[in-house]
Structure formats: C-alpha cells, structure tokens
Structure 1
Amino acid sequence: MAQINVTGLTFGYEGSFDNVFENVSFMVDTNWKLGFIGRNGKGKTTFLNLLMGKYEYQGSISSNAYFDYFPYEVSEKDLEKTADELMEKWKNGVESWRVMCELPKLSVDAELLYRPFKTLSYGERTKIMLAVLFSGDNDFLLIDEPTNHLDMEARDIVKVYLSEKKGFILVSHDRDLLDACTDHVLVLNRATIEVQSGNFSSWWENKEKQDAFARSENEKHLKEIGKLKVAADRTARWAEKSENSKIGFDPIKENDRSISTRSFIGAKTKKMQSRVKSFEDRMNREIEEKEGLLQDIEETIDLKIMPLKHHKERLIECRDLSLRYLDGNENVIENLTFEVRQGERVFLTGANGSGKSSLIKAILTKNANSANSKAMDGVVGEYDERINAPDRKIIGNMEIFGELSVAAGLKISYINQDTSHLKGSLLQHAGRNNLDYSLFLSILRQLDMNREQFAKNMEDFSEGQKKKVLIASSLLTPAHLYIWDEPLNYIDVFSRMQIERLIEKYAPTMLLVEHDVRFREKLSSKEIVL
C-alpha cells in the first residue's frame, strides 16, 4: 500500500487561455477503488496522462506506484496482429498465463487472443485489455471510461469484474458502474478538488446537502449585508446632516444654541461616523464569509426541445421484419415486430451486433425520400427502394423481408453514435444543418462547454464535447421523432441528469439506444429487445 501525493500541481496546455489545474494539492491511497468524477473538459484524462508522465507540469506528484493505463493504444497496423502479439507491447513483462487466468472472470475464451484484433468486437477488445491490465503486480491502474460502446451484458461483466479488484482510478460517467465498483471518489468540482470516502451515490447525497447548506448560508449573508447597507446609509446621512449644521446658525430661529454647541455637534458626528465604520467592517466580514460558498455548486440550466405533433398516432411500424446486408450471409434482425407511437420513449436493447444501429439506419434510409425529413450530419445511406419480391425489398445496402412503415412527412432528428464526421468549425456545422448559430452556442454553454472551445475546430474537441455538439444540434431541430444512438457515451454525469430532466418535461417521441441503466430505467416507456 502506497500513497500518491499531489502538491501544488499546475498545468495548462500550450496556447490555452486557462490552466487545467491551478496549485492543486490532494492525496490518494493506491489501495483504494477510486472513482474519478467531473464535468467534460475538467481534466480527468489529462490528470491520468500526468500520472503517466506524458506532460511537463509545475508542482509535484510523488508516489512509489507503477502506473498502467486503459485503454491501450492500438494503431492501424496493430489491428492486423493478435492480442497475444500485442500484449507485450501494451504491458512490459506481461505473462500470458496470468492473462489467461483473468479471461474466464471476464467471460472471454482464450482462443480470442489468437484472432486478428480487428475481428474482435468492442466488448471483446475491452475485456482482453482489462485482462492484460490486471495481470501485473502492485500496479496502480488508470482506467478511462471502460464501458463506452459496450452492450448491457458486457457492462455487467465488466462491472462485476472491477468490483472484485482494487488499486485503481476509474474514470466513468456511468452512475451504476461507479456505485458498484468504487469505495472512494476523487471529484473535480468547479473550483476545488475533493477526495471523499464512499461511492457516487453517497457523494451525490452529501453534495446535495452541502449545496443546500451553501445556498442557505449565502441567502442569510445576503440578507444581513442588505440590512447593514441600509443601516450604514441611514447613519451616514445623519452624520452628514449633523456635520453640515456644525458651522453657522440663525440666532433668531435657534435662540437656544450658542457657539459652544459646535464641539457637542462635532462629537456627535464623530460617534455617528464611527458607527458607519463599524457597519462597513461587519459588511466586509459578511462578504468575506459569503465568498466561495457557491463556487462548487453545479447550476445546470434546464434545456428546451421543440417536438412537433404529427397527424398520425403511429410513426413507425415493423411487422415480422428481417434484415440483412447485401454482402452478408445471415440476417442481422429476425422476425421483429414493434411500433413507435407518439409520446413513447422506446429503447432498443440487445448485445453488440444484434442489429440496433442497423435498424435505425433502415428507418432513416426509408424516411430519407420524404421532402420534410431533416438531414443531419452523420446520416448515412441514400434512399433506394426496389421491390424484388412480394415481401422483399432493397433499402440502401440492406435487404428487408416483412414490413417496415414510416409515417409520411415524418421529421426525424438523429444523433449518430459515431462522431468522426464532425469536422471544421461550429459555425460551419451550424450552416450545414440550418441551425441558428447564436442559439446553438447558447445550448452548448448550457451544456457547460467553455467559450474557449468555440474558436476551435471540432476535430480538436474531446469525445464528450463532440457528443454535446450532436445533442445541441438535435435539440435545435424541430422533429416528430428523435432517434438517438448511444447519445451519452463520454457525456458527464451532470449533463446526463440535465438531459433526463429535459426528456421528462417535454416528453418527445424518441427511439433510443442507450446502455446507461439509470437513464433507461428513469425514462423508458417501452423496451424492445433484439
């Protein structure tokens, strides 16, 4: 067991307006299961890279621990190799037998180690990397968002696996994972950093209490400051009036006053001025005590959405639908029947590769010939429907059997799980998608994106910031149906709660793929298992 001591850490990227960390100090234990929490862009991944020695910084980070980082880097050339060939590159001195001992705990067949890495699914790659990561001795492991792109089954396996381990920092925005796998939290607040015992839920409960207390204290100080200002202003006016009457008087109107009264008035004025100074000192103390009370409160602004009302109640209908790609031999979807009605929030669930994104693509492509459909960056495929048999159709590069109906004139607002198409400036993105640029930037600010990011090209954004661009674009697009494919990958906890409140309030019709358990449980009105 060792400690990691961070003292006076200051770091900023070259060319950046603000430092990511400014004179930060804290201590963590390498025996902890530490959850790392914070807004997108606050510096979680940056801090992990500082521990790995990738950047120069001011201050000190002292520890005897050896750090290892997930995910491992995989180049295009590496994709042609097997995991067995790559693991020595990932982790020096790794022993294959130790990796093989970890694989069964992750429900992975050792045979996967000898397949080309490019043929493995996201879930299989993640599990193999985690097995390599935990195959060393006395390492303090830095795990950066391990469950992104994983289906529910794979997430549950990873969750159980990590819950039985210790000695790591886990960066995640998945509240369920943080609750199951951590016994301490390291939190990047707005202005401070705190380390606390417990998991996400216990920290969040404490934070809500602390925020309520801070707001109450702030209100109390504001009222006291207001009272002191009134009293000081009144006393100052009295003092000024008294001072002005010290010199000169009308002996006829003020026959009870003589020149000797001047010293009495002067003493009275001095006393009043002393009282004003006392009020000002008390005000300064109140203001000083008020400062910093609200610095760490996460004030999330309620977002808005503009759902449209369609003349039909049923927007999408599938009857005995089977789907395969033209270059494939097997059906991706088999005999699927479901419908999406107005006001429903339908979640598509199932293992990776079960056809969730393919079904969404078929719906979007089917709808693409409508003059009223809304084309967004990232919508793939062109409409090309040919009837080859009574129950067989070709849509884009997919072959469909059965019935897939999309309401005529349906406007769809779509979030793609892939962000690689986001290139260029925010202004260019707004122009391509017919978005009001000012409103677009306003929503990004409400999602807590810093103004400094607005001057950058989207290629330089973090994955979380790219996702916020897609979410803001979708919210600004009036639509009958919102199709969101894994919208919350890389999105911070606070923004997830913000989006939950939005959907609860405006109740748009939605078809979603999302593996965040808390999000789905809170919002789902129907679940379709593929």
Structure 2
Amino acid sequence: MSKIEIKNLTFGFDALTDLLFDQANLVIDTQWKLGLIGRNGRGKTTLLQLLLGNYAYSGTVNHQLEFTYFPQSIDDKSQLTYDCLQELAVFDQWEIERELNLLKTGPDILWRSFDSLSGGEQTKALLALLFIDDRHFPLIDEPTNHLDITARQQVAHYLQTKKQGFIVVSHDRSFVDEVVDHVLSIEKSQLVLYQGNFTTYEEQKEQRDRYEQEENRKLKKEVSRLQQTAAEKAEWSRGREKDKQGKPSQKGSGAIYDTGAIGARAARTMKRSKAIANRMEQKAEEKENLLHDIEYIDPLTMNYQSSYHKQLLKVEELQLSYAEEPLFDPLSFEIEQGQRLAIQGANGSGKSSIIQFLLGEFKGETSGYATFSHDLSISYVRQNYEDNTGTLPEFAQTHHLSYQELLNNLHKLGLERNVFTNRIEEMSMGQRKRVELAKSLATPAELFIWDEPLNYLDVFNHKQLEEVIKMVQPSMLVVEHEATFLQNIATKIIYL
C-alpha cells in the first residue's frame, strides 16, 4: 500500500503574503479517491504543484509515485490537436479515439487546430489523454470546467470505475459527491481529512462548526460571569480598605473596624481575585483555539429593479442555425417578473447562442421571434470577459457602477484586498470572473442574464449566489451546468 507523506510542509509565495501552509502534516493513501476542496486562494492548485515538485518549500514530501497533471499545458495551440497531444504523451491513435468516443466527442476534433476547439472540446481532448494513462498517479485540477452535464456524468463514471486512486479538485458538488471516498479540506488554519464524499464533509464540517460555536458561547458566558465576580471582589476590597482608615476598634475585638481581620480577609479576597483572573485567562485561551476554521460567508447584494411589467420576455418558435443546420428544434418560452428560467443542454446545443440572439449578437441564421418589455434593463454575465481591463476605479466609472458596491461584493466573493490595486488584465481567471460577476450584481437591472456564472468560482461562492438569489427573487435567464445550483435557484428548466 503506497502513501504520500507530508511532514512540516511550509510554503508561501513571498515574504509579503501569508503562508499558504505552515508546518502542515498529512498522510494520504494512494488508493483513496480524494477530493481536494477549499476556498479559492487557499492553495489547492498550489498543493498539487508542490506534490509535482514545481515550487521550493520547507519540510518533506515523501512518495514513490510518478504523477500526471490535468490540465496539461499546450505550448503551441495553433497545431492540430493530435500533434498537441502527441507532444504531451506517447499513445496509439486508436486509444485516443476510443476515449473521445466514450466522452461522446467525434475523433474529428483531432484534425482541427487546438485553438479552434470550444472550451468543452479542449477539456475533453485533454481528459482523453489523461484517461489512457494508467501508469501515473493523477492530479486532476478542475476537470468539469466548460463541460456540459452529460460530459460531467461521463467523467464521473470514468473516475468511479477507476481502480487506482487520484486527487481531484472540483467545485461541482454533485460531481465530487459521486467520485470521491475521502475529502481533504484546506481550511483557514489547518488541513482536515474527512472519510466520505462531499455530503459527508458538509455534515461533519457543520457539526464541528456548531460544536465550536456552542463552546465559544459557553466560554463567553463563563468569562462574563468571572469578570462580574472579579469586579465584585475588587469593589469589596476597596470598601474594606476605606474601613481600615476609619476609627480603630478594641484590640482583638473582631469588630468591623478590626484592621487585622480586615487585612486577612482582603488578602484572601486578593488571592481569590488572582485565581479568577487566571481562570479568565485560561478561558480566553480556550476561546482563541475555537472558530479559526469557520467560514463566514458574507451575504452579497444584488441591484435588482422590480419591473412594472408582468411579462419581461416572450420567445416564440425560435430556431437558430449555422449554414442552414439548426442547433435545436423550434423553441418557445416566456419569463415573467420573479421567474428564473434555466436552459440546459449538451455543449454545442445552442444555449449561449440563444443569449447571443436575445442580445443581438448571434451571427447565424434565425427564425422566430423574441419580444422584450418596453425599455427593459438587463445585466449580463458573459462566458468571455477578457475585454475587462483597467483598474477597478476605472472599470466602475466606465460601467457607471457604484465603486463601493463593486468593491464590497468583490471582497465578499473572496477577492483579496491586496488585489484591489491590480489591473484587471493582470488578475487570474478566477479573479477576473469575480470582477465580471460583481459588475453584474452592481448593475441596476430588471432582468439578469447569466451565461455559465459558476466557472472558476468555489463552492462557497456558489452558496453565496444561491442565497442572494433566494433572498432577492430576481427575474433571470441562466445557462449553467452545475445541477445543484440550478435545483436551488431555478423556477423552471428547459432542455435543448
């Protein structure tokens, strides 16, 4: 039985930022199907890179494994996909075609340039390469990005039937639930290992948090009681000190003005006060050891404007085509105020094309009609937001947003304050996604149109968005592959 042993692992990117790992210790059985979870920025991908030996660190990482990492890096994406994959690994053509067929993707994508493939097709090509490798231990980082529900189920089925272990990072709760038997959570102050799937992790994490919050409440109550007792003792001592300065009593009488008796009682009181102070200090230390790993999920704000129109959008017999090839059968639907319509379907079925058509951006052939209510205000989250540039103040001014509201939501979404001064084009994809989402949340709108809003967001962000949507009850049109999210927020789902 092989193991990965981590001892006293300490790592940070530079002296100006907090350590991601500080004296971390962990033993991983390589037979486990391990889900690695945690808030964005906690170090999930970094931990995989440390296992690969790509960063210098202090401590030790012991194993007898050869790792393979997903997603593999493509240097020249203008090459044929087949040639790109051949540069990454040695395989026979029939092997890669077999895996693509199992992923319901035509092998013809091998003979197109890699950069011409959709995000889902690129992901499937790299997954096919991963799946034919049975010699290395897989480190799988976000395999579900850009994949539709069917493809996610196919990848989940592959990992379920895989005999060897792996480590997978994913924010898709349903996917993690299906494929893992252990969960490693990177929390604020420690690594915590759970036996079971994501649901088990959530239940046990909730129990731990409830226990620590209850213990914290008890300790606060105890400290408050001790403080009150200490104050009463101090007040008594001050009163007795005044008595000692009053008229003297007869020697040895024991009367109230007996300064010897008063002094002895004051000494005992002082001793008890010191004991109380020690107990308070002990309780305070106990409190300090609690609540370190509780995730406080701050509620987001959403600038939803209620419309005086009952019906916001009506679509009748809509059909979209490229080169006279329809993407889907004629489609009719409507969105009324307060309704949240979700569109699901396979990659390439036309979900994003519907949004492009509604916004006047579709380049193919169209038939049918779409009617918006008069002067309807729309807020849009795009799949491609690489044209967001400049500083955050410049961005807010360009889009006529409240800068303070934009910053508040960005901070609540987990964007670190030290990133606020960066230019948007210099941010990571996850950080840039938060800017796009915070822009939409801050835009006053009667209808929110979101195209795959959850890509690059962590599970806690998913919950934040669910909570603000359930609280505000906005009118929405949503395209998303994450089934749990849609079950929690959609009032109606249509399938292409």
- The alignment's TM-score, normalised by the length of structure 1, stands at 0.87
SS of aligned partner of 1:339: strand
Which residue number corresponds to residue 54 of structure 2? 54
Q: Residues 150-165 of structure 1 correspond to what in structure 2 (within 5 A)?
A: 150-165=147-162
Indicate how the Cα distance of structure 1 residues 131 and 267 shifts in structure 2: closer, same or farther if over 3 A, else same.
Answer: same
Which residue number corresponds to residue 185 of structure 2? 187
**Backbone CA RMSD of aligned residues:** 2.5
Shift of 1:112: 4.4
1:508 aligns with 2:474: yes
Shift of 1:337: 1.5
Q: Residues 484-523 of structure 1 correspond to what in structure 2 (within 5 A)?
A: 484-523=450-489
CA distance in 1, matches of 2:413, 2:112: 41
Contact in 2 for aligned 1:318/1:339 (Cα 8 Å)? yes
Contact in 2 for aligned 1:79/1:118 (Cα 8 Å)? yes
Output one character per residue of 1:119-144: Cα deviation in whole Å (capped at 9) or x when no partner. 54433332332232233344221111
Shift of 1:252: 9.4
CA distance in 1, matches of 2:103, 2:366: 35
Which residue number corresponds to residue 145 of structure 1? 142
1:234 aligns with 2:229: no
CA distance in 1, matches of 2:248, 2:277: 37
Output one character per residue of 1:212-240: Cα deviation in whole Å (capped at 9) or x when no partner. 11111100000000000000111022123
Which residue of the other structure, out of 452, 455, 479, is the alignment partner of 2:421?
Answer: 455
Indicate how the Cα distance of structure 1 residues 157 and 273 shifts in structure 2: closer, same or farther if over 3 A, else same.
Answer: same
SS of aligned partner of 2:207: helix
CA distance in 2, matches of 1:106, 1:127: 7
Which residue number corresponds to residue 323 of structure 1? 320
State the percentage of identical aligned residues.
Answer: 40
Output one character per residue of 1:182-225: Cα deviation in whole Å (capped at 9) or x when no partner. 01111011222111111100010011111111111100000000
Indicate how the Cα distance of structure 1 residues 480 and 110 shifts in structure 2: closer, same or farther if over 3 A, else same.
Answer: closer
CA distance in 1, matches of 2:249, 2:217: 53
SS of aligned partner of 2:359: helix
Shift of 1:474: 1.3
Which residue number corresponds to residue 79 of structure 1? 78
Output one character per residue of 1:32-75: Cα deviation in whole Å (capped at 9) or x when no partner. 11101111111111111222222222222221111111111123
CA distance in 2, matches of 1:253, 1:116: 108
Aligned length: 495
Indicate how the Cα distance of structure 1 residues 220 and 180 shifts in structure 2: closer, same or farther if over 3 A, else same.
Answer: same
Indicate how the Cα distance of structure 1 residues 194 and 460 shifts in structure 2: closer, same or farther if over 3 A, else same.
Answer: farther
Which residue number corresponds to residue 429 of structure 1? 395
Shift of 1:419: 2.9
Shift of 1:400: 2.8
Which residue number corresponds to residue 305 of structure 1? 302
Which residue number corresponds to residue 390 of structure 1? none
Contact in 1 for aligned 2:340/2:474 (Cα 8 Å)? yes
Contact in 2 for aligned 1:17/1:452 (Cα 8 Å)? no
Contact in 2 for aligned 1:105/1:161 (Cα 8 Å)? no
Aligned AA (1:128)? A
- The alignment's TM-score, normalised by the length of structure 2, stands at 0.93
Q: Is there any run of 5+ residues in structure 2 with no aligned partner, and where? A: none
Aligned AA (1:276)? S
Output one character per residue of 1:357-416: Cα deviation in whole Å (capped at 9) or x when no partner. 121122123xxxxxxxxxxxxxxx5xxxxxxxxxxxxxx744432212122200000000
Shift of 1:105: 3.9
Aligned AA (2:441)? L
CA distance in 1, matches of 2:169, 2:118: 22
Which residue number corresponds to residue 338 of structure 2? 343
CA distance in 2, matches of 1:455, 1:40: 19
Which residue number corresponds to residue 471 of structure 1? 437
SS of aligned partner of 2:410: helix
Which residue of the other structure, out of 119, 130, 135, is the alignment partner of 1:133?
Answer: 130
Indicate how the Cα distance of structure 1 residues 251 and 349 shifts in structure 2: closer, same or farther if over 3 A, else same.
Answer: closer
1:480 aligns with 2:446: yes
Aligned AA (1:205)? E
Shift of 1:100: 5.1
